[in-house]
Structure 1
Amino acid sequence: MKFQIFLTKHTNQITLATGVLIVLGMLSKYLLNFTPGYTVTLAVASVIAAVPIAVRAFSALRNKVFSIELLVTIAVIGAFVIGEFNESAIVTFLFLFGSYLESKTLQKTRTAIKGLTDMSPTTATLVTDSGTEEVDVDDVDEGDVVLVKTGSQVPVDGEVVEGSGYLNEASITGEARQINKQLHDNVYSGTMVENGYLKIKATQVGDDTTFAKIIELVEEAQDTKSKAEKFIDRFAQYYTPAVLVLAALVFVFSRDFRLAITVLVLGCPGALVIGAPVSNVAGIGNGAKRGILIKGGEVIDTFAKVDTLVFDKTGTLTEGNTAVTTMNTYTDHVADQLGLAAAIEGVSDHPLGQAIITYAEKQTTHTAPTLDDTETVKGQGICAKVNGQSIVIGNQKMMTAHDIGLTPKQAHDLNALQSAGQSTVIMAVDGQVQLIFGIADTIRPEVKDSLAALKAQGIKRTVMLTGDNQLTAESVAKELNLDEVHANLLPEEKVEYVKKLKADGNTVAFIGDGINDSPSIANADIGIAMGSGTDVAIDTSDVVLMQSSFPALVHAHGLAKKTVLNTRENIFIAIATVVFLLIGLIFGYIYMASGMFVHEASILVVIFNAMRLINFQTKFDKRQPAMKSQPATA
């Protein structure tokens, strides 16, 4: 074991020494005309280079794996038997040098992980009863308060309990823009305080932080194999023994030992084995650099085949920053009823409810009433009891369920708001409608162009599923040129639509906020979360768009299609190389050393081809302002 570790650590030096010995041998023969020196030098070079290869082959055999190194080892032994030291030296050198170049180029495709890991905070300033104390980040517990000043990293996920400042959240979203954080705002580990100071109460620490999960996710994704990789792994298990059998048959029928050894050398399936993994690693790295987390090669395969995109509305197609624009009143006690509505909505985190709370805070200073009892009806609204009164607040479906009717005037007002594309919330007290809120949510400015770009990339169908009313949903769908819209849906009804689309033969991607829509995200062929790294988004979805950006969605889809194409190109290059070498062997213009050179060259070709994915951009990307990214996420 120690010997193997030593060889692994010094493989680059062994490769260099082998190359130097080969050059010295050539000089000995062609400049000094000293053939014995040439033979001895190349024999020594062969032995030195063959040792690490043979050790790897033996290690693989112990695990019942027939590796490429086994083919090379047998080929070198054969070359020694026939006295072709020049062939064995060149073959082993090219193999080691190819491995060196392969490892160097692969490192470039893994820069996303390295950049993220380098951004991981290592220390924290812990606030104690006696002041502050610098501690290792692993020593911070949930509930502790840490101090973060200008120029420092946030070491935990938590809530701001004192201070304010501007944070650069590039490590989370991939977008290098400053976000103002104030009292009670949530902050994430790995982000940088550009200006100000914050005291943060830790809610998640260590490996539980969003940043740590992102790193883990990218690492796991780059190790998750695509269908092409799984096929190639199975293929390689049978291919190596097949080449050994073929070489044996060649020797039996031709009695040409040199030819049999050449078959072994040319039979190394290096380019085929490395082609698919390096494409997926490069593609996933490209996405991570832009705040797009793709969970592995299999996700890439499926995403590339998606033909139907299904969207949630609020917070996905729209900004999610809803505000009350109209309040129709049917009571003389408006302030009291508005305070009552805000108090009841306080038990919910729905965006429409939050808009009512914000509006009420600006309109009235009344003390919030005490709620005796509340019941949330998913997808409809809230029932409550206050001082013996029965209050129902929610959508039209909620009113119908409680046999609450609207007067002609109220129905007209409601229809006018919905026709204007506004979401509506109705509040009734003891069966009588008191307030109707009109709440607007603006469409994301980049959505329309992004959807057109997705159609140009091969998406055939766009569908919106929303719990909002039909008129509002249709207004948004018309603005965005969506193919279908279904409104007034409960979460379970959205899931049924997704299942129906899949049953009809469509490959479906569902794009939502990763929390309310997690059942639909989980049931789609590809689940895509638009959100800044919530736990549910990361755990449930296949793709996480940390920027909540539609241009990022266009890039992710284009990247998936390009990565699959790149994988196919690499497989074609590998197979074409094998065919070329076999034909060359038959017609006599390919020999052991030249064949090994072509073999190693083919490995580098597929790696360099995959590396093109690192800087991949879609046509839509090129029309956008330069995507901001930091070295930390590169």
Structure 2
Amino acid sequence: MQRFILKSKNQITLLSAILIATAYISKWAAGNTEVFTLALIVASVIGALPIAIQAYQALRVKVVSIDLLVTIAVISAFLIQNYEESAIVTFLFLFGAYLEQRTLNQTRSAIKELTEMAPESAFKQMENGEFVEVDVDDVDEGDLLLVKTGAKVPVDGTVIFGDGHINEASITGESLPVGKDKDSKVFAGTILENGTLQIVADRVGEDTTFGRIIELVEEAQDSKSQTERFVDRFSKYYTPVVLFLAFVVWLFTKDVELAITILVLGCPGALVIGVPVSNVAGIGNGARSGVLLKGSEVITDFSRVDTMVFDKTGTLTVGNPSVSETIYYSADSAEVLGYMASIERESDHPLAKAILEEIGEVEFSVVESTEVVKGGGIVANVNEHRVAVGNVALMEREKVYLSDEVKADIDRFMNCGNSLVLTSVDGELKVLMGVRDQIRKGVKENLRKLKKLGVKNLVMLSGDNQGTVDVVSRELGLTEAHGNMLPEDKSAYIKKIQSEGHIVAFIGDGVNDSPSLALADIGIAMGSGTDVAIETSDVVLMNSDFSRLPHALGLTKSISRNMKQNVTIAVGVVLVLFAGLLLSEWVSMSVGMLVHELSILVVIINGMRLLGFRLRK
């Protein structure tokens, strides 16, 4: 019976409204006081039922809830035959709860939208080679799947055949389609806008990027911030205090109506709902915008950050070295580039890929007698020529003459933060290449936004040499930059600045960043980083989009402000009502309930503003 009544709360609210309307129409239009009284009695009784049941259920777990205050107030008003007050108070309380739940559901719309985006089926290749539509739960890692135009990608996987453009908005927040072809990575929940792809499943079910996003957002929205926990503790003791105060007032004044009015005025509804709605709406905004905030506690700490520490490679820079400048010292450059490509294609050094991409399509030659010089480069015979590709130390080893002009070029390249790749043929220098990791597009502007948001110190820590680090630091206008740092050095630096009283956020993407991500007050992982980095962090920037960082900081500051505003509104309303009760005659039981419900709506609407938050330019 209890379950049925609680399930029918909305219908009871509607019936209560009809009865109250009937009561006043019969009194004003027909002057029928009997119908007026009867309708209000019935409205009071049916309206009080779900409230009383909720109060009883709370008492069973030793919680003195708002429902208990309202129940006592309504029963007391009923006993002194103040049926108007009892009927109106129950209706307003139920109607307020209905509006509260409806608007709260809207703040959780981000999770609902994400869940609706989840793929339900997939075209899986069977043993006979045909693709058959199956439930997505029947897909295992290693299965070959077909994705058609307009379909959702069912799992995280790798393209093995075909090409097309995918809308990755559900993962990155960006709706601009991304081109995919052989060996490209694709993510569950994204949509293939054109083309046809065959993919091999790498991650399925809850292990997919999309599944992890949903799990993280759900956990974050259900978590409680420090402010919210304080409000919970406050309400736990506040409600019994109001009950005791009402009893004391009745004991000394014998004024039942005054006592029950105090019960109604003391309802902390807006206080209880104000902070959660801010958290839920803010975390929902982040999920839509490619920013995963792992819990409400993160919001408070992140909003107070004054120092941001960045890893260089893959965070401030792309993490994919490319040739920035090339100087040729002979006319036979095409032939020399062919020799270089022939040697570098056999190397697994990170710079080799950058050089091959720069050289492009050439005719390869047979490479013989290859010698890998540790810390220097490679020496080999190509078309009966001795070819050396490496750094300055290798050239000196090969006794290659470096003129003053070449030395000046080398110094200039190094001052620009380049790693040097020199190529000699038969002891004569032919080519000088400068390879460097490129700074992410828009990083400088995003760092300026962070400063505008109150971040005082922007620090870069890197394992690269100090010269390269200094070049990047100068270009980006950082506060500090330290090179030649091992993971333990980065952790020690973070401990040092924390001991100086700074609230520190660390931004990184690799396994080596995990200790620093865990140690910092706020760990922020780039979304394309390692699983360890993402799991260790407090905030994840999806698709490694650095431009999301200012949005994330601005959002947490707005959430924190919004929570404080809601607490102020809630407490302010209670104080105003009590002042009105003591100093004037306009505050009654029903007026108090009306003002309370209006205050609840105000804090919910205020919190919902966060759903549309955008960082000002």
TM normalised by structure 1 equals 0.86
TM-aligned CA deviation for residue 513 of structure 1: 2.5
TM-aligned CA deviation for residue 133 of structure 1: 0.9
* Identity, % of aligned positions: 52
TM-aligned CA deviation for residue 341 of structure 1: 5.5
Residue aligning to 1:143: 142
Residue aligning to 2:178: 179
Residue aligning to 1:268: 267
**Among 569, 581, 586, which residue is 1:585 paired with?**
581
Residue aligning to 1:204: 203
Distance in 2, Cα, partners of 1:537 & 1:596: 50
Q: Is 2:549 the partner of 1:556?
A: no
Distance in 2, Cα, partners of 1:368 & 1:302: 58
Residue aligning to 2:332: none
Residue aligning to 2:538: 542
Which consecutive unaligned segments of at least 5 residues does structure 2 have? 330-334, 381-388
Greater alpha carbon shift after TM alignment, 445-454 vs 201-210: 445-454
Residue 515 to residue 423, structure 1, CA distance change in 2 (3 Å):
farther
Structure 2 letter corresponding to 1:590: V
Residue 534 to residue 165, structure 1, CA distance change in 2 (3 Å):
farther
Residue aligning to 1:42: 40
Counterpart secondary structure, 2:30 = coil
**Among 7, 10, 15, which residue is 2:8 paired with?**
10
Structure 1 letter corresponding to 2:608: M
Q: Is 2:516 the partner of 1:527?
A: no
Structure 2 letter corresponding to 1:161: I
Structure 2 letter corresponding to 1:305: R
Is 1:423–1:468's contact at 8 Å kept on the other side of the alignment? no
Structure 2 letter corresponding to 1:284: I
**Among 91, 100, 103, which residue is 1:102 paired with?**
100
Distance in 1, Cα, partners of 2:369 & 2:45: 86
Q: Kindly report which structure 2 residues correspond to 1:150-169, keeping only aligned pairs within 5 A, or say none.
A: 150-169=149-168
Residue 172 to residue 601, structure 1, CA distance change in 2 (3 Å):
same
TM-aligned CA deviation for residue 356 of structure 1: 5.0
Count of aligned residue pairs for this structure pair: 596
Greater alpha carbon shift after TM alignment, 178-187 vs 223-232: 178-187
Residue aligning to 2:194: 195
Q: Kindly report which structure 2 residues correspond to 1:312-323, keeping only aligned pairs within 5 A, or say none.
A: 312-323=311-322
Q: Which has the larger radius of gyration?
A: 2
TM-aligned CA deviation for residue 516 of structure 1: 4.3
Greater alpha carbon shift after TM alignment, 358-367 vs 255-264: 358-367
TM-aligned CA deviation for residue 394 of structure 1: 10
Residue 253 to residue 406, structure 1, CA distance change in 2 (3 Å):
farther
Structure 2 letter corresponding to 1:221: A
CA deviation vs aligned residue, 1:481-520 (integer Å, no higher than 9, x gap) = 1111111222222222222221211111112225442322
Greater alpha carbon shift after TM alignment, 29-38 vs 87-96: 29-38
Residue 79 to residue 126, structure 1, CA distance change in 2 (3 Å):
same
Distance in 2, Cα, partners of 1:209 & 1:337: 41
Residue aligning to 2:83: 85
Counterpart secondary structure, 1:517 = helix
Is 1:345–1:357's contact at 8 Å kept on the other side of the alignment? no
Distance in 2, Cα, partners of 1:565 & 1:302: 13
Residue 411 to residue 519, structure 1, CA distance change in 2 (3 Å):
farther
Residue aligning to 1:74: 72
Is 1:210–1:535's contact at 8 Å kept on the other side of the alignment? no
Residue aligning to 1:292: 291
Counterpart secondary structure, 1:143 = coil
TM-aligned CA deviation for residue 420 of structure 1: 1.9
Greater alpha carbon shift after TM alignment, 114-123 vs 433-442: 433-442
Q: Is 2:502 the partner of 1:506?
A: yes
TM-aligned CA deviation for residue 554 of structure 1: 1.2
Residue aligning to 2:609: 612
Is 1:514–1:540's contact at 8 Å kept on the other side of the alignment? no
Q: Kindly report which structure 2 residues correspond to 1:155-554, keeping only aligned pairs within 5 A, or say none.
A: 155-325=154-324, 343-345=346-348, 352=351, 354-356=353-355, 358=357, 365=364, 409=402, 415-424=411-420, 438-532=434-528, 535-554=531-550
Is 2:341–2:364's contact at 8 Å kept on the other side of the alignment? no
Residue 537 to residue 166, structure 1, CA distance change in 2 (3 Å):
farther
Which gives a bigger RCO, structure 1 or 2 (Cα 8 Å, sep 6+)?
A: 1
CA deviation vs aligned residue, 1:121-179 (integer Å, no higher than 9, x gap) = 00000011321111000010111111001111100011112212111111110001111
Counterpart secondary structure, 1:599 = helix
Greater alpha carbon shift after TM alignment, 121-130 vs 321-330: 321-330
Structure 2 letter corresponding to 1:446: G
Structure 2 letter corresponding to 1:267: G
Q: Kindly report which structure 2 residues correspond to 1:91-130, keeping only aligned pairs within 5 A, or say none.
A: 91-130=89-128
CA deviation vs aligned residue, 1:431-467 (integer Å, no higher than 9, x gap) = xx99986312332332222222211111111111122
Is 2:187–2:210's contact at 8 Å kept on the other side of the alignment? yes
TM-aligned CA deviation for residue 534 of structure 1: 5.4
Residue 360 to residue 59, structure 1, CA distance change in 2 (3 Å):
farther
Is 1:53–1:72's contact at 8 Å kept on the other side of the alignment? yes
Is 2:170–2:288's contact at 8 Å kept on the other side of the alignment? no
Q: Kindly report which structure 2 residues correspond to 1:596-607, keeping only aligned pairs within 5 A, or say none.
A: 596-607=593-604
Distance in 2, Cα, partners of 1:508 & 1:427: 44
Counterpart secondary structure, 1:31 = helix
Counterpart secondary structure, 2:501 = coil
Residue 412 to residue 141, structure 1, CA distance change in 2 (3 Å):
same
Q: Is 2:57 the partner of 1:59?
A: yes
Structure 2 letter corresponding to 1:611: M
Distance in 1, Cα, partners of 2:252 & 2:176: 70
Counterpart secondary structure, 1:538 = helix
Is 1:306–1:459's contact at 8 Å kept on the other side of the alignment? yes
* RMSD value, Cα: 3.4
Is 2:377–2:391's contact at 8 Å kept on the other side of the alignment? no
TM-aligned CA deviation for residue 313 of structure 1: 1.9
TM normalised by structure 2 equals 0.88
Is 1:337–1:434's contact at 8 Å kept on the other side of the alignment? no
Is 2:509–2:529's contact at 8 Å kept on the other side of the alignment? no
Is 1:473–1:486's contact at 8 Å kept on the other side of the alignment? yes
Structure 2 letter corresponding to 1:63: V
Counterpart secondary structure, 1:550 = coil
